[in-house]
């Protein structure tokens, strides 16, 4: 094949010198695709002519407006004598074309056809940079029969595959492995047994000129026993009579193409070029369903000369069967720890999900959404209840283990009289009763489970060595398990997870981990510190070898190796229990959706192993919003994308591949962070670091960002940079903030410079301590006050809190923030136009700063952020192993976000109380206008439940009821108490939206029960997280046993009716 350059009518190949013995085929590619000015379509594929799937080396295409291959005519009734004569004119499409020439001699002599492909289309800019394209799973191929005449034209009419369309959703593991699993298995079995080669094409009669047309279509919503047929207006296509429709053959591709392609080849007369047709689905009962929408039209009219001589072969790749309705589903969201069962100990466990799966199956739901389940044991206290700050991105949290299942898995379980095992069983029951509390006791639960697991470890350790499933687990997971288990052992020995203070062990290496696991030093591997951990699987296994368990008793590393072995033992059982639940969910048709945290803790295994891949000097967070006026600081480092790009994002690929073992879909937490992340400077104050003190999110800025340069400020006549970057503290501000405490605050903390104040030297460099709890300055300040203030302890505490709050307020009273990497670059402080500092500026300066502010936040960054996301997110999507990808895109949304997510087929999130575009939707999101490519949720873990929100913000709730939910003519206000019928109305409205998925928290589903029997606890107690509180205790636990849900016919029947009547039933 030969590539060429773009032209107005298509891209021509460069012809070879023709020989008399060589036959040639000319392939014309045609695809309709809407593009913007400056964009170009490129054909890429798996050979040198098509660039080996590299856009810069692909085949450029040319474009022009042409008559569409879709026409407005509906199929006529069977009695109509002329299907084509009355067809109205079709519209026009922007059609892209390219041509290549293929010598038949290139084909294998033993083959009857020449295969072209695989290939797909991509949109590039003038610099040949990929802007968007068809999904990576699109790998078109077609066969050119070598029986074609010399000079034949192969007209390939493709249908652009939109990444955001329903087919891309239905191709994910959620459907292939779960929702459509049984139907697909039956379909593959039926067609595998029958054979999937296309039916033999009827030869043309003597003297009759016919041209071969190959029709292809995919259908991803087939039920058992259904097949696809072709029906059209010509005699060859059945003349619109269903009984004469042509049955198509299912061509089964590789396992990565689970649905296959339906195909039928037909010889069509010349006069039928341009004729119309549609696809038809028939079941075993013979009833047919014609696809919706416009008729399709045969191409090739512009090649009549070739058709007249029988030299036209047309391939119609028509995309997907157009069903009457989109597939839509419903689901439930709940953290695993919030589940309660009769068998669980202290918190929900993986095994409890089985009961929830049964409830969802009975209620016609399709999906269960979970919060992150990774190990978060960074601090070894209640603060680790926060599920988004992980110790490991791979390890599962020990609190989710079912102790009884571990106890029943070893060889001693076969001896019911074993006293040790019986004693452990009694311990489990005692812990179950002691920890059966209204909310989760995180520390008590983890401590109890760890103590019992250690006893089980010593009882069952020797069994692991000969267990094939344990050996398989180590082989598959050593790449992360070896450093994780070593880290946990070191954490235990040092007494903390701050690896930066571990001396010579502060940086992980292969040699260090191998030394800890085997007592063998391997200095030769120090140069490659991380890539070889997977080779340690056999070394990990030897830790369990009963024949060498007591060897080298004098080796001081023996206790370390026992700690390492324990972590392996624990993770093995966690994984086995979770995978058992995954299999159960797939059998019941329920998909599991996981959660991918935006970051990892700074004291995590990842930062120990791959420190260079993280920006440890800053913290990730979020700018101020409706729910957090000071912004958020999550405390974990941001990513060094340049380093991650250097190794082709291998860590991300491993992370997602591992996640795909347990989940069929996942939610990218704070997907905006892959466009730009909100970075807050990390404290350099040692006392503050030890106290885990975090600066407020308000003092952060976006990264990457096109900062304002000093030369830009100079051009506006702004030279006094310190005035804008330092807190501007005037007497009026001090009086306003501190009131009667103004004088002592000034005397103790400040000194006067000209007409304003600055912090004294002793506070200037350590003012981060004003965000610390119980800082020393508080005691010193109280001593500075009068004896009356010291006499009353309550007044003293109140005074310190008021001063601390005021000091924080004035420290944030700045207009610009210096860039952490360059002193001559600046970022406007978020909300700086409302600060006292800004309002005190001269009018001309305020005007200039306002212009910078507007341009910085709303125009300057969009192209940069789009390019950043377009470089990173495709790697995540491609590495997702088929999981359905969803993104949490709430908050301040840059204009580039929706288009990038759409181009990558990433589902967004919509919460009606937090409209994504309030300027268009108003105070609440418009459910009736939700697009298909979103997940609609009435609430989530970061906001109050429906019931709590209604009762906390009744005035706003009344406005929602009046706008969306009240019946015509209804004038009475809704009740201030959120009754079950109110929750049901809100959930029904979400179910009726056009969103692909509607997922509501467990609390909201329970609150729908019309008897109100599940609304016995205060609504505020059902909230999972308060994002305004960085030290929130994640301890919510359902007051209902999950086993009881399936037995509650009232609830099951109600939810099943709600889901089914909305068209979301399975």
Give bridge partners of residue 317 from the DSSP assignment: 158, 216
* Beta strands 997-1001; 934-937: pairing state: parallel
The CA distance from 209 to 186, in Å, is 40
Burial code (b: 16+ CB inside 10 Å, e: under 16) for 696-712 equals: bbbbbbbbebbbbebee
How many CB atoms sit inside 10 A of residue 1031's CB? 11
Predicted pLDDT of residue 80:
37
pLDDT score recorded for residue 807: 86
Residue 265 backbone phi and psi in degrees, to 5: -105, 135
CA distance 959 to 499: 52
Structure tokens that stand for 726 in this block:
């330092």
Preceding omega of 118 cis (within 30 degrees of 0): yes
Tokens of 517: 């696991």
Tens of pLDDT along 822-844? 999 999 999 999 999 999 999 99
Cβ-contact 69, 79 below 8 angstroms: no
Q: What is the pLDDT of residue 299?
A: 84
Q: Pick the closest to residue 695 from 684, 679, 680 (CA basis).
A: 680
- Residue 911's DSSP bridge partners are 937
Q: First vs last Cα of the chain: how many Å apart?
A: 48
3-state secondary structure of 678: strand
Measured between alpha carbons, how far is residue 899 from residues 221, 879, 894, 905 in Å?
A: 27, 20, 10, 10
- What is the β-pairing status of strands 261-269 and 210-218? antiparallel
Beta-carbon contacts of residue 64 (< 8 Å; ≥ 6 apart): 8, 9, 94, 95, 97
- Residue for token pair 């696991």: 517
Determine the pLDDT at residue 768.
62
Short-list 726, 749, 760, CA closest to 807: 749
Question: Is the distance from CB of 701 to CB of 822 less than 8 angstroms?
Answer: no
Chain region(s) in the chain for CATH 3.20.20.80: 331-596
CA distance 613 to 223: 47
| C-alpha span between 760 and 748 (Å, rounded) | 8
Q: What is the pTM of this model?
A: 0.90
CB count, 10 Å around CB of 749?
25
- Looking at the domain 331-596, which fold is it? TIM Barrel (3.20.20)
Cα–Cα dist 514/526, whole Å: 11
Q: For the chain, which residues score pLDDT lower than 50? A: 1-11, 13-20, 78-89, 527, 554, 685-686, 688-691, 788-791, 793-794
Q: At what angle do helices 558-588 and 442-464 cross, to 10 degrees?
A: 100
- Residues 926, 934 contacting (CB under 8 angstroms): no
Q: How many residues belong to the chain?
A: 1066
Token pair recorded at residue 964: 């969306």
Neighbours of 334 (CB within 10 A): 24
- Helix axes of 862-878 and 650-659: crossing angle, nearest 10 degrees: 50
Cβ–Cβ < 8 Å for 329, 300: no
Q: How far is CA 838 from the centre of its chain?
A: 39
- Of 681, 684, 675, 604, nearest to 641 by C-alpha is 675
SS3 state at 44 = strand
Pull the structure tokens for residue 218.
């995919």
């Amino acid at each position: 094949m030969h590539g060429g350059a773009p032209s107005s009518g298509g891209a021509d190949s460069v012809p070879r010198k023709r020989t008399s013995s060589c036959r040639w085929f000319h392939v014309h590619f045609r695809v309709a695709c809407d593009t913007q000015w400056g964009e170009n379509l490129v054909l890429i594929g798996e050979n040198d002519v098509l660039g080996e799937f590299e856009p810069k080396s692909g085949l450029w295409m040319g474009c022009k407006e042409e008559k569409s291959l879709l026409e407005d005519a509906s199929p006529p009734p069977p009695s109509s004598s002329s299907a084509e004569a009355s067809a109205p004119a079709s519209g026009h499409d922007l059609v892209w074309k390219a041509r290549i020439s293929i010598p038949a001699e290139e084909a294998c002599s033993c083959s009857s056809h020449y295969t072209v492909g695989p290939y797909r289309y991509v949109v590039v800019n003038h610099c040949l940079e990929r802007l968007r394209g068809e999904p990576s799973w699109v790998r078109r191929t077609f066969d050119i029969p070598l029986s074609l005449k010399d000079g034949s034209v192969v007209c390939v009419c493709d249908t652009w595959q939109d990444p955001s369309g329903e087919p891309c959703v239905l191709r994910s593991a959620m459907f292939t492995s779960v929702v459509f699993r049984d139907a697909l298995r039956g379909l593959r079995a039926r067609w595998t047994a029958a054979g999937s080669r296309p039916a033999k094409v009827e030869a043309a009669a003597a003297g009759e000129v016919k041209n071969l047309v190959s029709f292809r279509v995919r259908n991803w919503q087939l039920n058992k026993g259904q097949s696809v047929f072709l029906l059209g207006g010509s005699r060859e296509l059945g003349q619109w009579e269903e009984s004469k429709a042509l049955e198509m053959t299912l061509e089964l591709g590789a396992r990565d193409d689970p649905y296959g392609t339906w195909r039928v080849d037909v010889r069509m007369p010349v006069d039928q070029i341009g004729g119309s047709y549609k696809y038809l689905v028939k079941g075993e009962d013979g009833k047919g369903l014609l696809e919706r929408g416009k008729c399709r039209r045969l191409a090739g009219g512009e090649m009549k000369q070739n058709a007249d001589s029988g030299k036209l072969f047309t391939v119609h790749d028509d995309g997907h069967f157009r069903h009457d309705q989109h597939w839509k589903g419903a689901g439930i969201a709940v953290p695993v720890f919030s589940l309660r069962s009769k068998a669980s100990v202290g918190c929900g466990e993986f095994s409890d999900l089985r009961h929830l799966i049964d409830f969802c199956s009975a209620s016609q739901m399709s999906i269960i959404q979970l919060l992150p389940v990774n190990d978060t044991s960074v601090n070894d206290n209640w603060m680790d209840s926060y599920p988004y700050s992980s110790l490991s991105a791979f390890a599962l949290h020990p609190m989710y283990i079912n102790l009884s299942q571990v106890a029943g898995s070893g060889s001693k379980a076969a001896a019911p009289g074993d006293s040790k095992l019986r004693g452990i069983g009694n311990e489990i029951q005692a812990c179950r009763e002691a920890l059966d509390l209204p909310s989760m006791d995180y520390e008590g639960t983890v401590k109890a489970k760890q103590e019992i697991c250690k006893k089980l470890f010593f009882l069952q350790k020797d069994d692991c060595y000969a267990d094939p499933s344990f050996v398989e687990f180590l082989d598959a997971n050593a790449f992360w398990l070896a450093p994780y288990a070593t880290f946990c052992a070191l954490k235990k020995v040092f007494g903390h997870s701050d690896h930066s203070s571990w001396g010579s062990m502060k940086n992980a290496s292969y040699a260090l981990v191998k030394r800890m696991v085997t007592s063998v030093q391997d200095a030769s591997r120090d140069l490659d510190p991380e890539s070889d951990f997977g080779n340690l699987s056999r070394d990990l296994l030897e830790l369990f070898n009963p024949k060498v368990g007591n060897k080298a008793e004098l080796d001081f590393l023996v206790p370390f190796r026992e700690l390492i072995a324990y972590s392996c033992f624990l993770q093995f059982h966690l994984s086995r229990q979770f995978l058992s639940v995954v299999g159960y969910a797939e059998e019941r048709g329920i998909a599991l959706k996981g959660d991918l945290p935006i970051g990892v803790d700074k004291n995590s295994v990842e930062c120990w192993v791959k420190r260079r891949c993280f920006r440890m000097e800053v913290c990730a967070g979020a700018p101020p919003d409706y729910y957090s006026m000071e912004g958020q600081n999550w405390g974990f480092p941001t990513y060094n994308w340049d380093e991650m790009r250097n190794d082709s994002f291998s860590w991300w690929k491993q992370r997602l591949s591992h996640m795909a073992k347990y989940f069929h879909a996942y939610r990218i937490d704070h997907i905006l962070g892959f466009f730009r992340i909100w970075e807050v400077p990390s404290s350099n104050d040692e006392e503050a670091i030890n106290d885990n003190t975090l600066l407020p999110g308000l003092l952060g800025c976006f990264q990457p960002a096109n900062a304002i340069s000093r030369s830009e400020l100079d051009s506006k006549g702004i030279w006094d940079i310190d005035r804008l970057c330092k807190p501007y503290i005037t007497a009026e501000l001090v009086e306003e903030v501190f009131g009667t405490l103004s004088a002592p605050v000034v005397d103790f903390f400040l000194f006067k410079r000209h007409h304003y104040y600055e912090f004294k030297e002793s506070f200037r460099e350590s003012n981060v301590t004003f965000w610390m709890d119980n800082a020393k300055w508080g005691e010193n300040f109280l001593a500075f006050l009068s004896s009356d203030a010291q006499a009353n302890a309550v007044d003293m505490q109140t005074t310190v809190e008021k001063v601390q709050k005021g000091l924080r307020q004035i420290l944030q009273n700045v207009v610009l923030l210096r860039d952490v990497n360059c002193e001559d670059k600046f970022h406007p402080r978020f909300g700086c136009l409302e600060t006292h500092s800004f309002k005190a500026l001269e009018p001309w300066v305020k005007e200039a700063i306002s212009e910078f502010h507007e341009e910085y936040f709303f125009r300057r960054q969009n192209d940069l952020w789009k390019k950043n996301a377009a470089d990173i997110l495709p790697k995540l999507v491609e590495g997702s192993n088929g999981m359905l990808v969803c993104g949490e895109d709430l908050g301040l949304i840059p204009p580039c976000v929706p288009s990038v997510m759409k181009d990558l087929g990433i589902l967004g999130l919509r919460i009606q109380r937090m409209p994504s575009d309030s300027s268009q939707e108003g105070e609440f999101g418009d459910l009736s206008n939700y697009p298909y490519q979103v997940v609609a949720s009435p609430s989530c873990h970061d906001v109050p439940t429906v019931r709590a929100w209604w009762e906390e913000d009744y005035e706003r709730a009344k406005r929602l009821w009046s706008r969306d939910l009240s019946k015509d003519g209804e004038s009475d206000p809704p009740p201030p108490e959120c009754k079950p019928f109110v929750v049901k109305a809100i959930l029904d409205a979400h179910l009726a939206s056009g969103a692909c998925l509607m997922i509501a928290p467990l609390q909201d589903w329970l609150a729908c029960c019309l008897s109100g029997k599940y609304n016995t606890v205060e609504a505020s107690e059902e909230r999972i997280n308060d994002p305004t509180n960085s030290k929130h205790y994640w301890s919510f636990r359902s007051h209902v046993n999950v086993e009881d849900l399936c037995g509650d016919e009232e609830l099951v029947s109600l939810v099943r009716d709600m889901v089914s009547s909305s068209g979301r039933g399975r």
